[in-house]
Structure 1
Protein backbone atom coordinates (compact mmCIF):
# COMPACT_ATOMS: atom_id res chain seq x y z
CA UNK A 1 0.00 0.00 0.00
CA UNK A 2 1.26 3.46 -0.89
CA UNK A 3 0.92 6.33 1.60
CA UNK A 4 1.09 10.04 0.99
CA UNK A 5 3.74 10.19 3.74
CA UNK A 6 5.26 7.52 6.04
CA UNK A 7 2.85 6.57 8.85
CA UNK A 8 3.98 6.95 12.44
CA UNK A 9 5.30 3.71 14.00
CA UNK A 10 2.90 1.90 16.31
CA UNK A 11 3.11 2.78 20.00
CA UNK A 12 4.16 -0.10 22.22
CA UNK A 13 4.95 -1.12 25.80
CA UNK A 14 7.68 -3.50 26.94
CA UNK A 15 6.95 -6.87 28.56
CA UNK A 16 8.75 -8.18 31.64
CA UNK A 17 11.26 -10.88 30.68
CA UNK A 18 10.53 -10.77 26.95
CA UNK A 19 12.06 -9.19 23.88
CA UNK A 20 8.65 -8.65 22.23
CA UNK A 21 6.78 -5.39 22.61
CA UNK A 22 3.06 -5.11 23.31
CA UNK A 23 1.60 -2.98 20.47
CA UNK A 24 -0.89 -0.41 21.73
CA UNK A 25 -4.13 0.02 19.81
CA UNK A 26 -6.34 2.15 22.06
CA UNK A 27 -6.15 3.51 25.61
CA UNK A 28 -9.33 3.55 27.69
CA UNK A 29 -9.47 5.12 31.15
CA UNK A 30 -11.96 4.71 33.99
CA UNK A 31 -12.97 7.81 35.94
CA UNK A 32 -13.69 7.97 39.68
CA UNK A 33 -13.01 4.34 40.65
CA UNK A 34 -11.85 4.87 44.25
CA UNK A 35 -14.09 6.28 46.98
CA UNK A 36 -11.14 8.12 48.50
CA UNK A 37 -10.51 10.02 45.28
CA UNK A 38 -14.20 10.77 44.77
CA UNK A 39 -14.37 12.21 48.27
CA UNK A 40 -11.30 14.40 47.78
CA UNK A 41 -12.88 15.87 44.64
CA UNK A 42 -16.03 16.71 46.58
CA UNK A 43 -18.32 14.40 44.62
CA UNK A 44 -20.79 11.75 45.72
CA UNK A 45 -20.04 8.10 44.86
CA UNK A 46 -22.17 6.45 42.17
CA UNK A 47 -21.96 2.72 41.45
CA UNK A 48 -24.66 2.49 38.80
CA UNK A 49 -22.09 2.30 36.00
CA UNK A 50 -18.48 3.34 35.38
CA UNK A 51 -17.64 6.06 32.88
CA UNK A 52 -14.74 6.12 30.45
CA UNK A 53 -12.54 8.52 28.53
CA UNK A 54 -9.66 8.01 26.10
CA UNK A 55 -6.02 8.89 25.69
CA UNK A 56 -4.08 8.64 22.41
CA UNK A 57 -1.98 5.53 21.92
CA UNK A 58 1.05 7.69 21.15
CA UNK A 59 0.66 9.25 24.59
CA UNK A 60 2.68 6.34 26.01
CA UNK A 61 5.86 7.19 27.93
CA UNK A 62 7.98 4.15 28.83
CA UNK A 63 9.60 3.34 32.16
CA UNK A 64 12.67 5.50 32.70
CA UNK A 65 11.45 8.06 30.20
CA UNK A 66 11.09 11.78 30.56
CA UNK A 67 8.58 14.24 29.20
CA UNK A 68 8.50 18.01 28.90
CA UNK A 69 6.06 19.92 31.05
CA UNK A 70 3.04 20.21 28.73
CA UNK A 71 1.77 23.50 27.33
CA UNK A 72 -1.52 25.22 28.17
CA UNK A 73 -1.46 24.30 31.87
CA UNK A 74 -0.18 25.58 35.18
CA UNK A 75 -1.38 22.53 37.13
CA UNK A 76 -0.11 19.16 35.88
CA UNK A 77 -1.32 16.35 38.19
CA UNK A 78 -0.26 12.72 38.67
CA UNK A 79 -2.71 9.82 39.07
CA UNK A 80 -1.26 6.33 39.62
CA UNK A 81 -3.35 3.51 38.13
CA UNK A 82 -3.45 -0.22 37.47
CA UNK A 83 -3.30 -0.84 33.71
CA UNK A 84 -4.94 -3.88 32.10
CA UNK A 85 -3.47 -5.14 28.80
CA UNK A 86 -5.95 -6.87 26.47
CA UNK A 87 -4.76 -9.69 24.18
CA UNK A 88 -8.06 -11.24 23.09
CA UNK A 89 -10.79 -9.11 21.56
CA UNK A 90 -14.47 -9.33 22.18
CA UNK A 91 -17.83 -7.62 22.46
CA UNK A 92 -20.25 -7.94 25.39
CA UNK A 93 -17.77 -9.94 27.47
CA UNK A 94 -19.16 -11.35 30.71
CA UNK A 95 -17.42 -10.67 34.02
CA UNK A 96 -16.82 -14.42 34.34
CA UNK A 97 -14.99 -14.52 30.99
CA UNK A 98 -13.07 -11.25 31.35
CA UNK A 99 -9.85 -12.87 32.59
CA UNK A 100 -9.60 -14.88 29.37
CA UNK A 101 -9.13 -11.62 27.44
CA UNK A 102 -6.33 -10.20 29.61
CA UNK A 103 -2.65 -10.60 28.74
CA UNK A 104 -1.22 -8.90 31.80
CA UNK A 105 -0.95 -5.84 34.00
CA UNK A 106 1.23 -2.76 34.38
CA UNK A 107 1.60 0.40 36.42
CA UNK A 108 0.41 3.56 34.70
CA UNK A 109 0.16 7.27 35.44
CA UNK A 110 -2.77 9.27 34.14
CA UNK A 111 -1.24 12.73 33.74
CA UNK A 112 -3.90 15.44 33.86
CA UNK A 113 -3.96 19.14 33.06
CA UNK A 114 -6.04 19.72 36.18
CA UNK A 115 -6.84 23.36 35.53
CA UNK A 116 -8.24 22.50 32.09
CA UNK A 117 -10.23 19.63 33.59
CA UNK A 118 -11.80 22.02 36.10
CA UNK A 119 -12.79 24.41 33.34
CA UNK A 120 -14.29 21.53 31.35
CA UNK A 121 -16.29 20.32 34.34
CA UNK A 122 -17.52 23.82 35.20
CA UNK A 123 -18.76 24.30 31.63
CA UNK A 124 -19.91 20.69 31.02
CA UNK A 125 -17.32 20.28 28.25
CA UNK A 126 -15.37 17.17 27.20
CA UNK A 127 -12.16 16.25 29.03
CA UNK A 128 -10.09 15.85 25.84
CA UNK A 129 -7.73 18.79 26.39
CA UNK A 130 -7.27 17.85 30.04
CA UNK A 131 -6.59 14.14 29.55
CA UNK A 132 -5.62 13.31 25.96
CA UNK A 133 -2.58 15.50 25.38
CA UNK A 134 0.87 14.42 24.16
CA UNK A 135 2.79 12.06 26.49
CA UNK A 136 -0.12 11.91 28.94
CA UNK A 137 -0.03 8.13 29.49
CA UNK A 138 3.20 6.85 31.08
CA UNK A 139 3.09 3.06 31.36
CA UNK A 140 5.55 0.61 32.88
CA UNK A 141 6.52 -2.85 31.70
CA UNK A 142 3.63 -5.30 31.41
CA UNK A 143 3.78 -8.39 33.63
CA UNK A 144 1.98 -11.38 32.06
CA UNK A 145 -0.96 -12.35 34.29
CA UNK A 146 0.47 -15.84 34.93
CA UNK A 147 3.51 -14.19 36.54
CA UNK A 148 1.78 -11.78 38.90
CA UNK A 149 -0.62 -12.12 41.83
CA UNK A 150 -4.37 -11.58 41.35
CA UNK A 151 -4.97 -7.90 40.80
CA UNK A 152 -7.92 -7.62 43.18
CA UNK A 153 -5.76 -6.46 46.12
CA UNK A 154 -2.29 -5.11 46.76
CA UNK A 155 -0.59 -1.83 47.51
CA UNK A 156 -0.75 0.94 44.89
CA UNK A 157 1.47 3.96 45.55
CA UNK A 158 3.19 6.98 44.02
CA UNK A 159 5.97 9.25 45.23
CA UNK A 160 7.45 12.48 43.90
CA UNK A 161 11.15 13.03 44.61
CA UNK A 162 10.95 10.08 47.05
CA UNK A 163 8.16 11.74 49.04
CA UNK A 164 4.92 9.69 49.30
CA UNK A 165 1.86 11.18 47.62
CA UNK A 166 -0.55 8.31 46.95
CA UNK A 167 -0.82 5.11 49.00
CA UNK A 168 -3.83 2.79 48.85
CA UNK A 169 -4.92 -0.77 48.05
CA UNK A 170 -6.39 -2.17 44.82
CA UNK A 171 -9.20 -3.72 46.85
CA UNK A 172 -10.54 -0.18 47.32
CA UNK A 173 -11.58 0.02 43.66
CA UNK A 174 -15.32 0.49 43.22
CA UNK A 175 -15.30 -1.44 39.94
CA UNK A 176 -13.20 -4.60 39.76
CA UNK A 177 -11.11 -5.44 36.71
CA UNK A 178 -13.62 -8.03 35.40
CA UNK A 179 -16.48 -5.55 35.81
CA UNK A 180 -14.54 -2.83 34.00
CA UNK A 181 -13.67 -5.11 31.07
CA UNK A 182 -17.28 -6.28 30.84
CA UNK A 183 -18.82 -2.79 30.94
CA UNK A 184 -16.29 -1.41 28.47
CA UNK A 185 -16.95 -4.23 26.01
CA UNK A 186 -20.64 -3.37 25.94
CA UNK A 187 -19.81 0.03 24.44
CA UNK A 188 -16.73 -0.81 22.35
CA UNK A 189 -15.45 -3.96 20.71
CA UNK A 190 -12.23 -4.64 22.54
CA UNK A 191 -9.30 -5.80 20.46
CA UNK A 192 -5.75 -7.05 21.08
CA UNK A 193 -3.50 -4.15 22.01
CA UNK A 194 -6.05 -2.21 24.04
CA UNK A 195 -4.92 -0.81 27.41
CA UNK A 196 -7.35 0.04 30.21
CA UNK A 197 -6.32 2.46 32.98
CA UNK A 198 -8.53 1.57 35.95
CA UNK A 199 -8.70 4.74 38.06
CA UNK A 200 -6.70 6.39 40.83
CA UNK A 201 -6.93 6.60 44.62
CA UNK A 202 -6.72 9.74 46.73
CA UNK A 203 -3.57 11.82 46.99
CA UNK A 204 -3.34 13.23 43.47
CA UNK A 205 -1.23 16.35 43.26
CA UNK A 206 0.85 18.56 41.03
CA UNK A 207 4.26 17.89 39.52
CA UNK A 208 6.83 20.42 38.34
CA UNK A 209 9.83 20.45 35.99
CA UNK A 210 12.67 18.52 37.58
CA UNK A 211 10.39 16.19 39.54
CA UNK A 212 11.10 12.45 39.61
CA UNK A 213 7.95 10.36 39.84
CA UNK A 214 7.90 6.72 40.95
CA UNK A 215 4.70 4.67 40.74
CA UNK A 216 4.31 1.12 42.01
CA UNK A 217 1.79 -1.70 42.47
CA UNK A 218 2.53 -4.80 44.50
CA UNK A 219 3.66 -7.64 42.23
CA UNK A 220 4.32 -5.46 39.14
CA UNK A 221 7.35 -3.71 37.69
CA UNK A 222 7.57 -0.11 38.99
CA UNK A 223 7.33 2.93 36.73
CA UNK A 224 9.79 5.83 36.85
CA UNK A 225 9.44 9.06 34.88
CA UNK A 226 10.92 12.55 35.06
CA UNK A 227 9.27 15.86 34.27
CA UNK A 228 11.54 18.13 32.24
CA UNK A 229 11.36 21.82 31.43
CA UNK A 230 8.80 22.80 28.81
CA UNK A 231 9.84 22.51 25.15
Structure 2
Protein backbone atom coordinates (compact mmCIF):
# COMPACT_ATOMS: atom_id res chain seq x y z
CA UNK A 1 0.00 0.00 0.00
CA UNK A 2 0.92 3.61 -0.52
CA UNK A 3 -0.46 5.67 2.37
CA UNK A 4 -0.32 9.45 2.51
CA UNK A 5 -1.82 12.55 4.07
CA UNK A 6 -3.21 15.60 2.32
CA UNK A 7 -4.54 19.02 3.26
CA UNK A 8 -3.62 22.10 5.26
CA UNK A 9 -0.74 21.62 7.68
CA UNK A 10 -2.11 20.43 10.99
CA UNK A 11 -5.41 19.40 9.41
CA UNK A 12 -4.26 16.62 7.10
CA UNK A 13 -6.53 13.74 6.16
CA UNK A 14 -5.44 10.16 5.42
CA UNK A 15 -5.47 8.77 1.89
CA UNK A 16 -4.29 5.83 -0.18
CA UNK A 17 -3.08 5.48 -3.76
CA UNK A 18 -5.21 3.16 -5.92
CA UNK A 19 -4.03 0.94 -8.78
CA UNK A 20 -4.45 3.81 -11.26
CA UNK A 21 -2.27 6.15 -9.20
CA UNK A 22 -5.25 8.19 -7.98
CA UNK A 23 -5.76 9.40 -4.42
CA UNK A 24 -8.61 7.92 -2.39
CA UNK A 25 -9.74 9.36 0.94
CA UNK A 26 -9.44 7.09 4.01
CA UNK A 27 -11.15 9.41 6.50
CA UNK A 28 -14.11 7.03 6.85
CA UNK A 29 -11.75 4.18 7.76
CA UNK A 30 -8.95 5.69 9.86
CA UNK A 31 -8.43 9.03 11.60
CA UNK A 32 -4.85 9.48 10.34
CA UNK A 33 -1.74 7.65 9.18
CA UNK A 34 0.15 7.22 12.45
CA UNK A 35 1.79 4.68 14.70
CA UNK A 36 -1.47 3.61 16.28
CA UNK A 37 -2.85 2.60 12.89
CA UNK A 38 0.38 0.93 11.74
CA UNK A 39 0.53 -1.20 14.90
CA UNK A 40 -3.10 -2.34 14.66
CA UNK A 41 -3.06 -5.61 12.69
CA UNK A 42 -6.84 -5.65 12.20
CA UNK A 43 -6.86 -2.13 10.81
CA UNK A 44 -3.97 -2.84 8.46
CA UNK A 45 -5.67 -6.00 7.20
CA UNK A 46 -8.85 -4.01 6.65
CA UNK A 47 -6.97 -1.41 4.62
CA UNK A 48 -5.42 -4.14 2.48
CA UNK A 49 -8.80 -5.71 1.77
CA UNK A 50 -10.60 -2.49 0.80
CA UNK A 51 -12.22 -2.02 -2.59
CA UNK A 52 -10.53 1.29 -3.24
CA UNK A 53 -13.03 2.21 -5.96
CA UNK A 54 -15.65 2.67 -3.22
CA UNK A 55 -13.61 5.44 -1.56
CA UNK A 56 -13.96 9.12 -2.41
CA UNK A 57 -11.61 10.24 -5.18
CA UNK A 58 -9.36 13.19 -4.30
CA UNK A 59 -8.86 15.51 -7.27
CA UNK A 60 -5.62 17.51 -7.28
CA UNK A 61 -5.10 18.14 -3.53
CA UNK A 62 -3.65 21.56 -2.75
CA UNK A 63 -0.98 20.04 -0.51
CA UNK A 64 0.53 16.69 0.40
CA UNK A 65 1.57 16.46 4.03
CA UNK A 66 4.26 14.39 5.69
CA UNK A 67 3.30 10.75 5.14
CA UNK A 68 3.30 9.87 8.84
CA UNK A 69 1.72 11.81 11.73
CA UNK A 70 2.55 12.01 15.43
CA UNK A 71 6.18 10.94 15.05
CA UNK A 72 7.72 10.29 18.45
CA UNK A 73 11.36 9.93 17.42
CA UNK A 74 13.12 11.08 14.26
CA UNK A 75 16.47 9.30 14.29
CA UNK A 76 19.18 9.54 11.64
CA UNK A 77 22.22 7.52 10.65
CA UNK A 78 25.27 9.44 9.45
CA UNK A 79 28.00 8.35 7.01
CA UNK A 80 26.08 5.20 6.13
CA UNK A 81 27.17 4.99 2.48
CA UNK A 82 30.70 3.89 1.69
CA UNK A 83 30.97 6.27 -1.24
CA UNK A 84 29.63 9.21 0.80
CA UNK A 85 32.12 8.49 3.61
CA UNK A 86 34.89 8.59 1.01
CA UNK A 87 33.51 11.86 -0.38
CA UNK A 88 33.56 13.32 3.15
CA UNK A 89 37.13 12.15 3.73
CA UNK A 90 36.04 10.14 6.76
CA UNK A 91 36.63 6.48 7.65
CA UNK A 92 33.83 3.94 7.34
CA UNK A 93 32.13 3.75 10.75
CA UNK A 94 32.52 0.55 12.75
CA UNK A 95 29.08 1.14 14.27
CA UNK A 96 26.20 3.30 13.02
CA UNK A 97 26.69 7.03 13.60
CA UNK A 98 23.48 8.15 15.32
CA UNK A 99 21.95 11.62 15.64
CA UNK A 100 18.43 13.03 15.73
CA UNK A 101 16.30 15.56 13.95
CA UNK A 102 13.73 17.39 16.04
CA UNK A 103 10.19 16.30 15.14
CA UNK A 104 9.29 19.97 14.59
CA UNK A 105 11.49 19.78 11.47
CA UNK A 106 9.03 17.40 9.77
CA UNK A 107 7.25 18.85 6.75
CA UNK A 108 5.45 17.80 3.60
CA UNK A 109 7.41 16.51 0.61
CA UNK A 110 6.76 19.64 -1.45
CA UNK A 111 6.68 22.26 1.31
CA UNK A 112 9.18 25.12 1.15
CA UNK A 113 12.53 24.74 2.87
CA UNK A 114 12.99 27.68 5.19
CA UNK A 115 16.55 28.98 5.26
CA UNK A 116 17.33 29.69 8.92
CA UNK A 117 18.55 33.11 10.00
CA UNK A 118 22.34 33.40 9.77
CA UNK A 119 22.51 30.35 7.50
CA UNK A 120 25.11 30.30 4.73
CA UNK A 121 25.86 26.58 4.29
CA UNK A 122 22.48 25.01 3.58
CA UNK A 123 22.78 21.52 2.11
CA UNK A 124 20.74 18.59 0.80
CA UNK A 125 20.71 14.80 1.35
CA UNK A 126 18.33 12.33 -0.32
CA UNK A 127 17.71 9.44 2.08
CA UNK A 128 15.70 6.26 2.52
CA UNK A 129 13.62 6.49 5.70
CA UNK A 130 12.27 3.57 7.72
CA UNK A 131 8.91 3.83 9.49
CA UNK A 132 8.53 1.56 12.51
CA UNK A 133 5.37 -0.56 12.70
CA UNK A 134 5.50 -2.08 16.17
CA UNK A 135 7.36 -1.63 19.43
CA UNK A 136 10.96 -2.81 19.14
CA UNK A 137 13.28 -3.35 22.09
CA UNK A 138 16.43 -5.50 22.00
CA UNK A 139 15.46 -7.17 18.72
CA UNK A 140 17.89 -9.26 16.70
CA UNK A 141 18.92 -8.44 13.15
CA UNK A 142 17.09 -11.54 11.92
CA UNK A 143 13.78 -10.43 13.39
CA UNK A 144 14.19 -6.67 12.89
CA UNK A 145 12.49 -6.53 9.48
CA UNK A 146 9.20 -7.64 11.05
CA UNK A 147 9.18 -4.40 13.06
CA UNK A 148 9.31 -2.22 9.93
CA UNK A 149 5.97 -0.90 8.63
CA UNK A 150 7.38 0.61 5.46
CA UNK A 151 9.65 3.15 3.82
CA UNK A 152 9.53 6.70 2.49
CA UNK A 153 11.71 9.40 0.96
CA UNK A 154 13.41 11.88 3.28
CA UNK A 155 15.44 14.98 2.45
CA UNK A 156 17.83 15.33 5.39
CA UNK A 157 18.25 19.08 4.94
CA UNK A 158 21.37 20.25 6.80
CA UNK A 159 23.01 23.53 7.73
CA UNK A 160 26.70 22.62 7.69
CA UNK A 161 27.92 25.65 9.64
CA UNK A 162 25.45 24.92 12.45
CA UNK A 163 26.25 21.19 12.25
CA UNK A 164 30.04 21.14 12.03
CA UNK A 165 31.42 24.51 13.09
CA UNK A 166 29.37 25.46 16.15
CA UNK A 167 30.24 22.78 18.68
CA UNK A 168 30.26 19.00 18.65
CA UNK A 169 26.52 18.31 18.37
CA UNK A 170 25.11 17.75 14.88
CA UNK A 171 21.48 18.26 15.92
CA UNK A 172 21.67 22.07 15.67
CA UNK A 173 22.31 21.80 11.95
CA UNK A 174 19.78 19.04 11.35
CA UNK A 175 16.61 19.95 13.21
CA UNK A 176 15.62 23.42 12.02
CA UNK A 177 12.04 24.01 10.90
CA UNK A 178 11.30 22.39 7.50
CA UNK A 179 14.52 20.31 7.56
CA UNK A 180 12.67 16.97 7.44
CA UNK A 181 10.42 16.56 4.39
CA UNK A 182 8.86 13.07 4.45
CA UNK A 183 6.88 11.39 1.68
CA UNK A 184 5.01 11.76 -0.59
CA UNK A 185 3.77 8.45 0.72
CA UNK A 186 4.61 5.65 3.10
CA UNK A 187 5.09 2.49 1.05
CA UNK A 188 4.40 -0.63 3.10
CA UNK A 189 7.30 -3.06 3.14
CA UNK A 190 5.40 -5.71 1.17
CA UNK A 191 5.65 -3.42 -1.88
CA UNK A 192 9.41 -2.88 -1.51
CA UNK A 193 11.03 -6.09 -2.69
CA UNK A 194 14.56 -5.13 -1.60
CA UNK A 195 15.22 -1.81 0.19
CA UNK A 196 18.96 -2.29 -0.37
CA UNK A 197 18.66 -2.07 -4.17
CA UNK A 198 16.80 1.19 -4.76
CA UNK A 199 18.03 3.92 -7.10
CA UNK A 200 18.03 7.41 -5.58
CA UNK A 201 18.72 10.85 -6.99
CA UNK A 202 18.63 14.57 -6.22
CA UNK A 203 18.77 17.67 -8.43
CA UNK A 204 19.17 21.36 -7.65
CA UNK A 205 17.82 23.77 -10.26
CA UNK A 206 17.72 20.92 -12.77
CA UNK A 207 21.33 19.78 -12.24
CA UNK A 208 21.77 16.28 -10.86
CA UNK A 209 24.14 16.12 -7.91
CA UNK A 210 23.20 12.82 -6.30
CA UNK A 211 22.75 9.70 -8.40
CA UNK A 212 23.22 6.69 -6.16
CA UNK A 213 21.70 3.52 -4.81
CA UNK A 214 20.93 2.02 -1.45
CA UNK A 215 23.21 -0.87 -2.44
CA UNK A 216 26.21 1.11 -1.13
CA UNK A 217 24.75 1.26 2.38
CA UNK A 218 27.17 0.18 5.09
CA UNK A 219 24.46 -0.74 7.61
CA UNK A 220 21.25 -2.08 6.09
CA UNK A 221 17.75 -1.32 7.44
CA UNK A 222 17.37 -4.48 9.54
CA UNK A 223 20.80 -3.93 11.09
CA UNK A 224 19.93 -0.31 11.89
CA UNK A 225 16.62 -1.21 13.55
CA UNK A 226 18.27 -3.94 15.62
CA UNK A 227 21.15 -1.64 16.60
CA UNK A 228 18.96 1.25 17.69
CA UNK A 229 16.68 -1.07 19.67
CA UNK A 230 19.61 -1.86 21.94
CA UNK A 231 19.64 1.77 23.15
CA UNK A 232 16.02 2.93 22.96
CA UNK A 233 12.59 1.39 22.50
CA UNK A 234 11.43 2.12 18.99
CA UNK A 235 7.72 2.92 18.90
CA UNK A 236 5.21 2.56 16.05
CA UNK A 237 5.44 5.65 13.86
CA UNK A 238 9.06 6.43 14.72
CA UNK A 239 11.13 7.43 11.68
CA UNK A 240 14.73 6.44 10.97
CA UNK A 241 16.53 8.16 8.10
CA UNK A 242 19.34 5.91 6.92
CA UNK A 243 22.01 8.09 5.31
CA UNK A 244 22.81 9.51 1.90
CA UNK A 245 24.94 8.62 -1.15
CA UNK A 246 27.63 11.00 -2.46
CA UNK A 247 26.86 14.27 -4.16
CA UNK A 248 25.92 16.56 -1.28
CA UNK A 249 26.82 20.24 -1.51
CA UNK A 250 29.56 19.91 1.10
CA UNK A 251 31.27 17.31 -1.06
CA UNK A 252 31.52 19.44 -4.20
CA UNK A 253 34.83 20.99 -5.21
CA UNK A 254 34.47 23.73 -4.15
CA UNK A 255 31.43 23.21 -1.89
CA UNK A 256 28.07 24.43 -3.20
CA UNK A 257 25.28 25.49 -0.89
CA UNK A 258 21.61 26.30 -1.36
CA UNK A 259 20.41 29.85 -1.82
CA UNK A 260 16.97 31.43 -1.65
CA UNK A 261 14.93 30.54 -4.71
CA UNK A 262 16.77 27.29 -5.42
CA UNK A 263 14.54 24.35 -6.36
CA UNK A 264 15.38 20.85 -5.11
CA UNK A 265 13.90 17.73 -6.69
CA UNK A 266 14.64 14.25 -5.38
CA UNK A 267 13.31 10.74 -5.40
CA UNK A 268 13.83 7.07 -4.66
CA UNK A 269 12.79 4.19 -6.88
CA UNK A 270 9.30 2.90 -5.93
CA UNK A 271 8.92 5.52 -3.18
CA UNK A 272 8.03 8.67 -5.14
CA UNK A 273 9.49 12.13 -5.52
CA UNK A 274 9.72 15.44 -3.68
CA UNK A 275 10.13 19.05 -4.83
CA UNK A 276 11.02 21.99 -2.57
CA UNK A 277 11.89 25.64 -2.96
CA UNK A 278 14.26 27.43 -0.59
CA UNK A 279 12.69 30.54 0.94
CA UNK A 280 13.78 33.21 3.40
CA UNK A 281 12.87 32.97 7.09
CA UNK A 282 9.80 34.77 8.39
TM-score, normalised by the number of residues in structure 2: 0.73
Does the 8 A contact of 2:110 with 2:181 survive in 1? no
Residue of structure 1 in register with 2:81 after alignment: 34
Which of the pair has more CA radius of gyration?
Answer: 2
In the superposition, relative to structure 1, how do residues 65 and 11 fare at CA in structure 2: closer, same or farther (>3 Å)? same
- The residue aligned with 2:103 is 57
For structure 2, the 5+ residue unaligned runs are 1-8, 18-23, 27-31, 34-67, 250-256
Structure 2 residue aligned with 1:74: 120
User: Which residue, out of 188, 210, 216, partners 2:232?
Assistant: 188
SS in 2 for 1:186: coil
Assess, with a 3 A threshold, how the Cα gap between structure 1 residues 11 and 119 changes in structure 2: closer, same or farther: farther
Distance 1:84 1:12, change over 3 A: farther
- Aligned partners of 1:82 and 1:217 also within 8 Å: yes
Backbone CA RMSD of aligned residues = 2.1
- Judged with a 3 Å threshold, the aligned counterparts in structure 2 of structure 1 residues 65 and 13 are, in CA distance, closer, same or farther, namely farther
Rounded Cα–Cα distance in structure 1 between residues aligned with 2:13 and 2:142: 27
Residue 128 of structure 1 and its aligned partner are, at CA, apart by 2.2
Q: Secondary structure in 2 aligned to 1:167? A: strand
Cα distance between partner residues in 2 of 1:13 and 1:99 = 28
Listed one character per residue, the Cα deviations across residues 128-170 of structure 1 (whole Å, up to 9, x for unaligned) are 2111222211111211112233201121111112210101111
Runs of 4+ in structure 1 off by over 2 angstroms are 9-23
Q: Which whole-Å CA distance do the structure 1 matches of 2:73 and 2:104 have between them?
A: 9
* TM-score computed with the length of structure 1 as normaliser: 0.88
Distance verdict in 2 for CA 1:33–1:127, change over 3 Å: same
Q: How far apart are residue 16 of structure 1 and its match?
A: 4.8
How far does residue 126 in structure 1 lie from its aligned partner after superposition?
A: 1.2
1:159 correspondence with 2:159 = no
Determine the C-alpha separation between the residues in 1 that align with 2:15 and 2:97: 28
